[in-house]
Structure 1
Amino acid sequence: MRKQGMVMVLFFALIGCCVSASYGEVNFSVEGRNTASVAGNEMLVFRLGNLVAGDFAVKVYDSSGNCVRTLIEKYSTDTQLEVVWNLRDTYRRTVQKGNYQVRYVAGLRLVLDKSFGKDGVLTGFSSPKQLCLDSQGNIYVLDFKAGAIFKFKPDGSPANDFNGTNKFAAPSAPYWQAIAVDEEGKIYGAAGHEIYVYDGRGTKMYYIGGFFGDDPEWKTPNRGGFAYPSWIGLNADFHIYASSPGYTRMAAWDRRKPMKEGGLWMHAGAGCPGDAGDTDGNNIIYLATAYYTNKSGIAKFIDKGNTCEFVKTINTYYDKTQKNIGYMADINGVSFDGAGGIWVVERAPVKIIKIFNTGFRFLPVTSFGLPGNDAEKIEFITPRGITASRDGRYLFIVEDGDPISATNSTTGLAR
């Protein structure tokens, strides 16, 4: 019998050849334990040899074993590779002087974490649409048909912070289309033409935006309005972003200010902003392209404070099943993992895709997922939302209970 109302939590482990490398020519061996000594501002170049075809990552670790930077992650058939490190960490800060190990890790896998919830799932939903994490690792699930947000602790147990319950219901239609949670635990919910802001107990504080009326281009002092936000995201500089695919627009506000007061910029057209995305927590925005492109790519934008720049779009990935390059379609979820990795959910055909942003270009890494209902085999009927923990250890994936498409009435498992 089909289980109803489950959220899958997938833990992925980097399993494969894992060694250290040093400046100069490197041949991999399991016993390799060389370190790179960092002193001054030199650029380190690592030449890696004896590689085998497949997906891999090259990561830098400090002397305490913490990963400070993923230098590259991709699928490759090359037997040799040259990797450059500019001595900066993931957040573009120059690292401290000291000893660092550079490790090659091959063969990314996804493993269902059965210690979470009950055998890796949470129950009690109608049709979950999106999920996100707060700074404490708590999980928020937006159940669109139920018009509610559910909150869980990192282990999957209910977080009863909404007047003694873990369910926070929308007061009335229209229900939230998207949610986000900031560093202080405030909850943001997009509905109608506004983004509502709630405290950690679910009490409404104020709203951001409002219908743009006769100023859709933000050319008057009354700038700051919007229409039908279907995705929202946050950065560390108190900016909040929203996209409206139907109006081919994306906008940014200072999220500390109510209504239209915090309007920063409006972006229209280029990049075809869609309804699924994420930010890197700083000034980069990753958005699936809009429905009128068949949601067929991931676009990168840069928030420049008072303007937005569209950079590029990627529409390819490495298909592990077919062993070739595939083309994205029907993207319904996007998440940044904190280390350059971008996870993508395709609804039909079912795919969980990983790509990597080097800062200059996108690189296909690998893909997972097949049609079906066996979570341990990474099977889905209608995957919808995805979020990655910023330590790169966990993926959280939801599957809704809606039909696969307008031409396929098979419903998802609502998990």
Structure 2
Amino acid sequence: MKILKVSEQVSIKRSIESGTTEQVAIVKGILQEIRTRGDEALREYTERFDRVNLSSFSVTEGEIETAYQKVNEGFVSIVREAAENIRSFHEKQLRPSWMTTEENGTILGQKITALDSVGVYVPGGTAAYPSSVLMNVIPAKVAGVKRIVMVSPPDSEGDLPPAVLVAAKEAGVEEIYKVGGAQAIAALAYGTESIASVDKITGPGNIFVALAKREVFGDVDIDMIAGPSEIAILADETARADEIAADLLSQAEHDPRACSVLVTPSMRLAEEVAQEVEKQLAVLPRKEIAARSIADYGAIYVAADIVEAVETVNQLAPEHLEVMTENAMELLGQIRHAGAIFIGRYSSEPVGDYFAGPNHVLPTNGTARFSSPLNVDDFQKKSSVIVYSQKALRENAAKIAEFARMEGLEAHARAVEIRLENDNK
């Protein structure tokens, strides 16, 4: 693992996957076909890409019951406890509508309303992601969304992973469809005979899913276009090299383009971590993926002191940030940019991925400078409430009309003035 001075270029940014011309064309074609031919096109794409011909896309109660039989009771118990932790955390994010009354009788306020419907995309392929189900569905439930639709690509037998179905049931999803890829995003955005459209789409996916989400944005809302995972660790000489290496590799095994970075003022720790990464990498089951990630996007940055180290972390604005220093909590106030902040050696990043409660859907590629984790606000919208009194209009009508005329909008001015004229008749 390369060791660099902070004075050299520091970055976690990778080129944004905007897709090739061919990929974009394929996605646009799929979206148009689903939009115009509905279920017929959805069935054709499912057969082509997922190698299964489905008579129905819906997951039945019988399939969910079978899923419970295929997982052990211990797993169900863990999912329920994790779901409760996630629910409890997100309930604290709820904000009420509010109103204020001015002395002149004017009432101003903000009305918070849950979205009517949300679609959650859960990736398929060789792995199952029940944690992704919980992290996307539960905040929507807490926000008050009434209709939550889950889509996920089926295997060649036409099934979804049992763990995913169990997580969906525990989270309260009542509408699940066996469709994936860009065609699933199109169905959620535009609707088909089987799947009614939604107002917002969340959840990660491959490049075709990401491109489809980008294309449908505007017709529906989306959460974000997430990039490969990343972690930055801020550590001093009090931290353990083997624990840091393990945490760096926990992100590297995700994806060859995942980014794992250590920032430290200790050259000794830097060298020990570099050695430990190589040692642990040799016995890692997904070592080929992790090795590519470490080689291409891994780095150890050595700072002059802890102040420079903290500033480097803020410059990186990582998705995940672990702070393993002496008196780590004292540094929290100095950290401005990170998706999720893990304080202390017992707060390893997987704690947040699965169980603690905060959301693991986080801004990537340096966008933590201006973005937040998925949260309850993402599933609600806000409406301004304006109840202007007669007294307030009389006090301010001339100012409003002058403002309007300054912008060349005479009808705006007259819309205010006509009310005063009518009152004086």
Query: Shared fold (TM-score greater than 0.5)?
Result: no
**More RCO (CA 8 Å, sep 6+):** 2
TM-score (norm 2): 0.26
More helix by share: 2
TM-score (norm 1): 0.26
More strand by share: 1
